[in-house]
Amino acid sequence: MRIERLSAKAEDYLETILRLSETPRGARTGDIAAALDVQPSTVSAALKSLKEQGLAEYTPYGAVGLTPKGRQVAEDIAGRHVSLRRFFTETLGLSQEEAELAACGMEHDATPLVLDRMGLLGDFLRQNPALLGQWHAARATAKGERAPGVESGLDELPPGVRAVVVGIDVDSGLRKRLVEMGVTPGVLIAVERVAPLGDPIAVEVRGYRLSMRKAEAARIRVKWRPGLI
């Protein structure tokens, strides 16, 4: 529907405004500037321009918001962003930071068809846990970074891959809770989902679903190899 494509910068502003306007603080000039790593004066100019294009609502010194049209564009971009990041982390097994970095730039040019197929490929792999494990094992061994069979923290485990708990380095509190949930050496555990910012992490163990911080997950030592189901 959008005849004239917006510039990547304009898309960045809209996406940032959308994200910030969901916080209690709202979208403020200074926060937008900090998020995009530009000066506040640049944001003022950008807001004026977005307003003229009918994309943002804005009164000087006042609140910044999006028009329905602006919100539509912003949600589209934000959607591409999460699709890419999800593919990079969950399917390609990259770190949150690396995924964020690449997604940030590629979101402006990824076509709907590309995003769609990436999603389908991820679903295809996840739908078969043994296959997913094989793939992650293959890519991990390819670069010799963290070969399967080697111990790591639960936080480093790709989502959907099952691993065996080998130990827990937690002093107290969490340890007790985990033991009550049945997280003891020998049981199978999997990361279900990692929040967009890498924290918290949704974990599945013995049919329980629990949520924990990344730092806590790092204390749970696991070992995995392909074919673990």
Partner DNA sequence: TCGAAATGTTTGAGGACCCAAACAATAGCA
Partner DNA sequence: TGCTATTGTTTGGGTCCTCAAACATTTCGA
* Given 14, 17, 18, 47, the residue binding DNA (CB under 7 A): 47
Give the strands of the sheet with 162-168, arranged side by side. Answer: 151-153, 220-223, 162-168, 188-194, 201-205, 208-212
Which lies closer to its own copies via its Cβ, residue 98 or residue 151? 98
Interface with its own copies in residues 78-117 (CB under 8 A): 88, 91-94, 98, 101-102, 104-106, 108-111, 113-114, 116-117
Q: Could you say whether residue 35 binds DNA (CB under 7 A)?
A: no
128/126 Cα distance (integer angstroms)? 5
Contact pattern from residue 48 through residue 87 relative to DNA, giving x for each residue in contact according to CB under 7 A and a dash for the rest: xx--------x-xxx-------------------------
Q: How far is the CB of 26 from DNA (least distance, A)?
A: 9
39/129 Cα distance (integer angstroms)? 47
Residue 45 has phi, psi (to 5 degrees) of: -65, -45
Which lies closer to its own copies via its Cβ, residue 85 or residue 219? 85
53/220 Cα distance (integer angstroms)? 51
Q: What number of chain residues touch DNA (CB under 7 A)? A: 25
